[in-house]
C-alpha cells in the first residue's frame, strides 16, 4: 500500500486551507461536512467562500501564507495556483508532523482525499493513490448503484444496540457471529424493504434470545479458488472467505485471492509444492478437524476446484467421519480457466469430441498412466501438475499412437498477468520449455485443438488493447454520465 487507509475525526478541530478559489471551496465543503473548523488563508476569496465568510461559517485571513499559520491545526490543505506556495505549505506541514494535502500533487501530500460513497454513518472511500482519479470515480459510481441509501440508517439502528449486545454476548467472537447472522437474515431484508420498525423489533428479539447454536459451532468451508484470477471466484466463495476465522491454503492460491480473505483471519500455509509438502495430507485432515472442534469456522482454500485433483474428496470423507459440518464451493478448474485464457477450446466439432483430465504425477511420484486410453484421436487431454514430467508425457503419448506432430501446449500461471503460453508438438514442446524459465503452476494441453490457439488467443497481459479486443472499450452504461466527487491527490 502506498497510503495507509484511515478515517480522521476532525469535528470541532481546526483545519487550514491555503487558497481561496473554487478548488479550495470543494475541499472546504468536505471539511465542513465532517465538522471541521476551517480557517482560509488567501489574499481574496471566490464568491462561494465570500458567502460562507459573511455568515461566519469560515474564518478568513486576508493575506498570503506564513509558516506560523499551520500551528494548532489538525490538517492542512494547499489549493493555490502558485506551485511555490503549495510546496512551502507541504514542507511546513510535514516538518511539524501535520497531515498535509496539496491538490493534484501526490508527491507533496502526506494524505489524499479519496472518492467517497456517503451513507453516513456508513462511508466508503476509494483511492488509487492519486494515480488515476477517473478510475476511482468510475468505481465510486459503480458502488453507488450497489449500496442502497438505507444502509446508513441501518448502521444507525445497529449502533443503538451495540452496548446492549456487548452486555448480552460478552464473548467477542460469538458477538461477531451474532451480528453476521442477524444482518444477513431477516433484519436486513426487513430494513431494505422499508419496514424499519419491524427490523428494529426483530433485532430486539434476537438480542433477547442471545446466542444460538449457529453461533457456537465450528464448520469447514472447502472453497475452490479457481485458477488464479480473483474475478473468477464465485459470489458464495467470496462470502465464506469473509466469514472464516482461520484459512488453510495451498501454494496454488494466488496472493491476490488471499487478499480477499477476512483481514483478521488466522492464516496457515499448507504448502503442496511438488515433493515439498509443508503439511502432509493426513496432518491437514487432522488440522481441519481440530480447528472445527475448537468452534472455529475454517476456510480450506484450494486452487482450482476442490474435487478435481484437489484432494477435496479425502478431506470431506474425514470431516464426515468426525461429524464436522462443512460446505463445499466448486471453483473454476484450471483446465477450463487456463485453456479459455490461452485461447484453446477444449472441445471443438472439427477437432475433439471428448475431453480427459489426467494428473501429471501419481501419489508414488511416478507417471504410470493408462497411456492407451489417453493417446486416442479426436480428444483433448489436459495434464495437471505435469511440468517436471513433460518429457515423459510427450514421449509416452507419441509411443502409444499419437503422431509426434500432434499439437501440444504448456500454459504457465494461467489467467494471471504472468500468463505465458508455449506451443509446440509432442516432439518439440519439451525442448521449447527447456529453454524457458517456467514457473508453476502449469497446465499441459495435448490435442489438435491447440492448433487453434494462435488464431483464437485474446488474453495478452503485455499487449496494448486493439480494435475488437475484449478490453478495447471501457465505456459501459454504468460509466457513461457517471458523476461525483473524484479522488484527488489534493
Q: What is the pLDDT of residues 180-217, one digit of tens each?
A: 888 887 888 888 778 889 999 999 998 888 877 667 78
Sign of CA dihedral 180, 184, 185, 186: positive
3-state helix, strand, coil in the chain (%, to 5): 40, 20, 45
Check the annotation: does 414 bind a ligand.
Answer: yes
Q: Catalytic positions, please?
A: 250, 272
Compute the average pLDDT of residues 328-334.
Answer: 95
Judge whether residue 467 has pLDDT over 50: no
Q: What is the pLDDT of residues 131-151, one digit of tens each?
A: 888 898 899 888 888 888 888
Residue 363 is predicted with a pLDDT of 57
Q: Is 284 within 8 Å of 312 (Cβ atoms)? A: no
pLDDT band for position 440 (50/70/90)? confident
Q: What is the pLDDT of residues 297-328, one digit of tens each?
A: 999 999 999 999 989 999 999 999 999 999 99
For 78, the enclosing helix (H) or strand (E) is strand 75-78
Check the annotation: does 22 bind a ligand.
Answer: yes
CATH of domain 219-332: 3.40.1010.10
Check the annotation: does 385 bind a ligand.
Answer: yes
**Closest C-alpha to 89, from 78, 98, 80:** 78
Check the annotation: does 304 bind a ligand.
Answer: yes
Compute the average pLDDT of residues 341-348.
Answer: 96
Check the annotation: does 133 bind a ligand.
Answer: no
d(CA 98, CA 223): 45
Q: How far is CA 374 from the centre of its chain?
A: 38
* CATH architecture, range 336-456: 2-Layer Sandwich (3.30)
Judge whether residue 468 has pLDDT over 50: no
Judge whether residue 235 has pLDDT over 60: yes
Check the annotation: does 17 bind a ligand.
Answer: no
Check the annotation: does 337 bind a ligand.
Answer: no
pLDDT band for position 419 (50/70/90)? very high
Residue 487 is predicted with a pLDDT of 55
Residues 6+ apart with CB under 8 A from 221: 240, 243, 244, 297, 298, 299, 300, 326, 327, 329
Phi, psi for residue 293 in degrees, rounded to 5: -65, -20
Check the annotation: does 21 bind a ligand.
Answer: no
Structural domain spans, the chain:
1-113, 150-215, 219-332, 336-456
Check the annotation: does 74 bind a ligand.
Answer: no
* Mean of all residue pLDDT scores within the chain: 88
Judge whether residue 265 has pLDDT over 70: yes
CB atoms within 10 A of CB 211: 15
pLDDT band for position 484 (50/70/90)? very low
Residues in the chain: 490
Distances (CA, A) of 258 to 233, 335, 336: 12, 21, 21
Looking at 332-451, which runs of residues are DSSP E strands?
Answer: 354-359, 379-384, 407-412, 420-425, 442-446
| Percentage of the chain exceeding pLDDT 90 | 65
* CATH architecture, range 1-113: 3-Layer(aba) Sandwich (3.40)
Check the annotation: does 44 bind a ligand.
Answer: yes
Check the annotation: does 246 bind a ligand.
Answer: no
Judge whether residue 335 has pLDDT over 90: yes
Q: What is the dihedral of CA 414, 420, 423, 429, to 10 degrees?
A: -90
385 or 487: whose pLDDT is higher? Answer: 385
Q: How far is CA 282 from the centre of its chain?
A: 31
**Domain 219-332 identical in fold to domain 336-456:** no
Amino acid at each position: 500500500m502506498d497510503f495507509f487507509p484511515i478515517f480522521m475525526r476532525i469535528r470541532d478541530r481546526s483545519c487550514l486551507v491555503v487558497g481561496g478559489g473554487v478548488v479550495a471551496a470543494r475541499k472546504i465543503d468536505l471539511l465542513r461536512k465532517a465538522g471541521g473548523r476551517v480557517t482560509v488563508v488567501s489574499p481574496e476569496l471566490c464568491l462561494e467562500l465570500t458567502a460562507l465568510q459573511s455568515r461566519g461559517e469560515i474564518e478568513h485571513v486576508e493575506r498570503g501564507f506564513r509558516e506560523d499559520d499551520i500551528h494548532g491545526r489538525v490538517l492542512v490543505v494547499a489549493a493555490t495556483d502558485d506551485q511555490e506556495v503549495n510546496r512551502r505549505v507541504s514542507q511546513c506541514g510535514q516538518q511539524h508532523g501535520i497531515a498535509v494535502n496539496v491538490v493534484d500533487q501526490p508527491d507533496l501530500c502526506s494524505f489524499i482525499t479519496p472518492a467517497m460513497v456517503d451513507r453516513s454513518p456508513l462511508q466508503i472511500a476509494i483511492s488509487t493513490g492519486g494515480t488515476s482519479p477517473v478510475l476511482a470515480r468510475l468505481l465510486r459510481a459503480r458502488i453507488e448503484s450497489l449500496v442502497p441509501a438505507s444502509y446508513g440508517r441501518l448502521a444507525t439502528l445497529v449502533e443503538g444496540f451495540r452496548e446492549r449486545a456487548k452486555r448480552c454476548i460478552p464473548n467477542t467472537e460469538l458477538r461477531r457471529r451474532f451480528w453476521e447472522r442477524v444482518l444477513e437474515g431477516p433484519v436486513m431484508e426487513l430494513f431494505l424493504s422499508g419496514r424499519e420498525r419491524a427490523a428494529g423489533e426483530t433485532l430486539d428479539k434476537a438480542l433477547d434470545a442471545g446466542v444460538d447454536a449457529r453461533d457456537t459451532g465450528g464448520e469447514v468451508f472447502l472453497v475452490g479458488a479457481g485458477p488464479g484470477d480473483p474475478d473468477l471466484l464465485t459470489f458464495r466463495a467470496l462470502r465464506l472467505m469473509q466469514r472464516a476465522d482461520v484459512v488453510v491454503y495451498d501454494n496454488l492460491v494466488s496472493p491476490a485471492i488471499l487478499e480477499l480473505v477476512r483481514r483478521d483471519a488466522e492464516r496457515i500455509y499448507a504448502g503442496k509444492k511438488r515433493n515439498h509438502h509443508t503439511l502432509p495430507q493426513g496432518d491437514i485432515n487432522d488440522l481441519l478437524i481440530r480447528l472445527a472442534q475448537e468452534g472455529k469456522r475454517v476456510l480450506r482454500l484450494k486452487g482450482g476446484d476442490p474435487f478435481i485433483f484437489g484432494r477435496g474428496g479425502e478431506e470431506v470423507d474425514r470431516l464426515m467421519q468426525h461429524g464436522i459440518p462443512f460446505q463445499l464451493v466448486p471453483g473454476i478448474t484450471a483446465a477450463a480457466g487456463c485453456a479459455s485464457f490461452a485461447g484453446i477450446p477444449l472441445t471443438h466439432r472439427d477437432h475433439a469430441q471428448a475431453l480427459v483430465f489426467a494428473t501429471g504425477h501419481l501419489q508414488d511420484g511416478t507417471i504410470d498412466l493408462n497411456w492407451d486410453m489417453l493417446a486416442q484421436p479426436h480428444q483433448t487431454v489436459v495434464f495437471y501438475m505435469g511440468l517436471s514430467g513433460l518429457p515423459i508425457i510427450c514421449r509416452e503419448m507419441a509411443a502409444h499412437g499419437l503422431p509426434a506432430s500432434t499439437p501440444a501446449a504448456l500454459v504457465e500461471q494461467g489467467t494471471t498477468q504472468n500468463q505465458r503460453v508455449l506451443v509446440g508438438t509432442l516432439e518439440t514442446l519439451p525442448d521449447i520449455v527447456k529453454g524457458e524459465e517456467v514457473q508453476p503452476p502449469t497446465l499441459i494441453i495435448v490435442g489438435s485443438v491447440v492448433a487453434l490457439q494462435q488464431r483464437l488467443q485474446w488474453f495478452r497481459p503485455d499487449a496494448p488493447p486493439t480494435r475488437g479486443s475484449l478490453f478495447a472499450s471501457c465505456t459501459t452504461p454504468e460509466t457513461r454520465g457517471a458523476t461525483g466527487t473524484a479522488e484527488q491527490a489534493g
